[in-house]
Amino acid sequence: MTQNAFNVLMISPEAVPFAKTGGLADVAGALPIALKKLGLDVRLVMPLYNMVRQSGMELTKVASDLTLPFDFFTLTFDVYQAEVDGLTCYFLERDEFFDRRQLYGTPKGDYFDNLERFVFLAKAILPLCQKLEFAPDIIHCHDWQSALIPVYLREKWGQEESFAKTATVFTIHNLAYQGLFPKEKFHLLDLPAALFGINGLEFYDQINFLKGGILWADAVTTVSRQYSREIQTKEFGCGLEGVLQTRADVLTGIVNGVDYNIWNPSTDPLLPATFNPDDLKGKVKNKQTLMAEYGLDPALKDAPLLGMVSRLADQKGFDLLAAILPKLMAENLTLVILGTGDKKYHDLLTAAAAQYPGRLGVKIAFDNRIAHLIEAGADMFLMPSAYEPCGLNQIYSLKYGTIPVARATGGLVDTITPVDPKKKTGTGFLFTDYTAEAFLACIQEACQAYQNKPLWRQIMKNAMSQDFSWDASAKAYVDLYHQTLARRTS
Ligand code: ADP
């Protein structure tokens, strides 16, 4: 037996390469594989969405007609299995819930029955473990969609043999998404009525799934240290800061890793030219291609090219960008933006691009190739986020020598070291106040540094040598599992 010979059941509402809406899918796809490499027996569970069927991965049915009680009914479901890099993934098939085009809703809003869909996911874990005869040491849940599982484990499944020694870990990837539902549906959870209260699942007269994960899990984590501190404050707590403070003793932050097999400028097949810290010629070629792709004025080739790849959401600081745009466009620089999201930002950015032809390029699209090209071809990467649990793009940017200009919040603080021009240290530029003035001043400071070529080259080298591969983060999770199990059995 190795020291890490224990079982982990990981439950996530999305994971690459099966179904993705955001950064959680990258984490849920990569973390279990990194944990397996450290000797753990990890299995991943998620719903069998339509997107999973479309993923092209081979699915094999491994169990039929499992049942769970739901309201006045007994629901049956089948279980499918797929293997990816040696990781076993289970998919729960109940088509009326999951065989839909999107994961959680359409652009018109969330699916009306999300409570039922994710109560189903939570309740299915008991029959699944019984059928597979899998007694997990750790159940690791992600985000509100799987947050009821720690509640069921303590409140309903305590006597089950499968869970006699099980400890639960709950990871918050974004506190703003909590799974809020009308209290009239509480009976569908099949939990004692007393649990709908201020010290339980109630949140301002609604049911709050995320709160269940925070209160009932044996350990709670977030995706950066800084964010784990911030969410205990009123500014970032989304109304749950008090609840999080009560769990401060078991709340930690573990920064996400990234997959350098996919995000690596020296091997990236999506780029017109590869490059590395010792040979940056390819970066110039990528800049040319990127400028042409966005129709930027080639006469501005020596001016710094700023890039953004982002969901177009309030969280990401587009209000600050809109406020500084006239002044920014008066500077000697160019800017390219790739994103999709809120219609108000689609309209705003499209209008701005028309106003500043040759200087500002905007593409309203979700396009992986262009995302890679921006990471590789831009000189700086803008992330003026109001909050940022971890953020992946700044980590990719570092590897591509594209210097982040970012707000000092959440994972941006944990992953970017401020530049000191005198010592030629640091990897990026950070501003603290969430104001247009602070953002503009930070960009201007970066542009000034850009003019000093030896300094800029050193900053690029510093950035490109950073290592945020999964190995370190996976080890931190293993340590946490050990501590949590020890606490549970002590
Ligand atoms: P969040 O999860 O809050 O959206 P992250 O920075 O953690 O932000 O992760 C976003 C991921 O989605 C990154 O891998 C980024 O490259 C990708 N992404 C976001 N918008 C787009 C887009 N329009 N086209 C391609 N990739 C995108």
Q: What is the pLDDT of residues 383-418, one digit of tens each?
A: 999 999 999 999 999 999 999 999 999 999 999 999
Question: Which ligand 1 atom sits closest to the C-alpha of 316?
Answer: 3
Give the per-residue pLDDT at 3. Answer: 61
Greatest pairwise CA separation for the chain in angstroms: 72
Helix (H, G, I), strand (E, B) or coil at 219: strand
Among residues 9, 3, 23, the alpha carbon closest in space to that of 393 is found at: 23
Does residue 152 sit within a domain? yes
Q: What is the pLDDT of residues 344-354, one digit of tens each?
A: 999 999 999 99
The torsion of the CA quartet 128, 482, 221, 255, rounded to 10 degrees, works out to: -110
Sign for the pseudo-dihedral over CA of 402, 403, 407, 409: positive
Amino acid identity at 463: A
| Locus of tokens 């400071």 | 445
Give the per-residue pLDDT at 52. Answer: 97
For residues 243 and 355, state if they share a domain.
no
| CA pair distance 210, 201, nearest whole angstrom | 8
**Can you state the angle between helices 318-329 and 343-355, rounded to 10 degrees?**
0
Does residue 151 sit within a domain? yes
Does residue 265 sit within a domain? no
| Å from CA of 473 to ligand 1 middle | 20
The tokens of 471 are what?
């190995």
Question: Which ligand 1 atom sits closest to the C-alpha of 311?
Answer: 20
Domain enclosing residue 197, as ranges:
7-257+471-489
**Is the Cβ–Cβ distance between 401 and 378 less than 8 Å?**
no
| Å from CA of 369 to ligand 1 middle | 12
Q: Report the nearest-CA residue for atom 20 of ligand 1.
A: 310
For residues 354 and 227, state if they share a domain.
no
Q: What is the CATH number of the domain that holds 347?
A: 3.40.50.2000
Q: What is the DSSP letter of 15?
A: B
Give Cβ neighbours of residue 73 (< 8 Å, ≥ 6 apart).
none
**Is the Cβ–Cβ distance between 277 and 464 less than 8 Å?**
yes
334 — phi, psi (to 5°)? -130, 160
| CA pair distance 241, 176, nearest whole angstrom | 12
For residues 197 and 172, state if they share a domain.
yes
Among residues 420, 425, 430, 380, the alpha carbon closest in space to that of 400 is found at: 380
For residues 342 and 220, state if they share a domain.
no
**Is the Cβ–Cβ distance between 317 and 383 less than 8 Å?**
yes
| Å from CA of 309 to ligand 1 middle | 7
| Locus of tokens 């003035």 | 437
| CA pair distance 287, 296, nearest whole angstrom | 11
Does residue 482 sit within a domain? yes
For residues 66 and 179, state if they share a domain.
yes
| Å from CA of 246 to ligand 1 middle | 32
For residues 355 and 418, state if they share a domain.
yes
Task: Pick from 21, 258, 311 the residue to mutate for probing ligand 1's pocket: most ligand atoms within 8 Å of its CB.
Answer: 311
| Å from CA of 184 to ligand 1 middle | 36
| CA pair distance 120, 201, nearest whole angstrom | 17
Does residue 264 sit within a domain? no
Looking at the structure of the chain, the number of domains it has is: 2
Q: Report the nearest-CA residue for atom 10 of ligand 1.
A: 23
Question: Which ligand 1 atom sits closest to the C-alpha of 315?
Answer: 3
| Å from CA of 474 to ligand 1 middle | 22
**Ligand 1 first shell, C-beta below 6 A:** 22-23, 309-311, 338-340, 366-368, 371, 390-393
| Å from CA of 391 to ligand 1 middle | 8
Does residue 61 sit within a domain? yes
| CA pair distance 201, 147, nearest whole angstrom | 11
Helix (H, G, I), strand (E, B) or coil at 75: strand
Q: Report the nearest-CA residue for atom 11 of ligand 1.
A: 23
Does residue 269 sit within a domain? no
Question: Which ligand 1 atom sits closest to the C-alpha of 375?
Answer: 16
Amino acid identity at 386: A
For residues 352 and 461, state if they share a domain.
yes
For residues 168 and 31, state if they share a domain.
yes
Helix (H, G, I), strand (E, B) or coil at 112: coil
Query: Would you write out the chain's pLDDT as a tens digit for each of its 490 residues?
Result: 346 678 999 999 999 999 998 889 999 999 999 999 999 999 999 999 999 999 999 999 999 999 999 999 999 999 999 999 999 999 999 999 999 999 999 878 899 999 999 999 999 999 999 999 999 999 999 999 999 999 999 999 988 988 988 999 999 999 999 999 999 999 999 999 999 999 999 999 999 999 999 999 999 999 999 999 999 999 999 999 999 999 999 999 999 999 898 899 999 999 999 999 999 999 999 999 999 999 999 999 999 999 999 999 889 999 999 999 999 999 999 999 999 988 999 999 999 999 999 999 999 998 999 999 999 999 999 999 999 999 999 999 999 999 999 999 999 999 999 999 999 999 999 999 999 999 999 999 999 999 999 999 999 999 999 999 999 999 999 999 999 999 987 7
| Å from CA of 163 to ligand 1 middle | 36
| Å from CA of 476 to ligand 1 middle | 24
Task: Pick from 222, 392, 395, 398 the residue to mutate for probing ligand 1's pocket: most ligand atoms within 8 Å of its CB.
Answer: 392
For residues 183 and 102, state if they share a domain.
yes
For residues 310 and 228, state if they share a domain.
no
**Is the Cβ–Cβ distance between 206 and 181 less than 8 Å?**
yes
**Is the Cβ–Cβ distance between 296 and 379 less than 8 Å?**
no
**Is the Cβ–Cβ distance between 280 and 308 less than 8 Å?**
no
Does residue 406 sit within a domain? yes
Q: Report the nearest-CA residue for atom 9 of ligand 1.
A: 23
For residues 308 and 192, state if they share a domain.
no
For residues 197 and 342, state if they share a domain.
no
Regarding beta strands 87-93 and 73-84, do their DSSP bridges make them parallel or antiparallel, or are they unpaired? Answer: antiparallel
| Å from CA of 341 to ligand 1 middle | 11
Task: Pick from 310, 338, 345, 375 the residue to mutate for probing ligand 1's pocket: most ligand atoms within 8 Å of its CB.
Answer: 310
| Å from CA of 236 to ligand 1 middle | 21
| CA pair distance 199, 153, nearest whole angstrom | 18
Strand partners, 475: none
Give Cβ neighbours of residue 65 (< 8 Å, ≥ 6 apart).
76, 78
Task: Pick from 314, 366, 400 the residue to mutate for probing ligand 1's pocket: most ligand atoms within 8 Å of its CB.
Answer: 366
Classify residue 385 as left (phi > 0), alpha (psi -120 to 50) or beta: beta
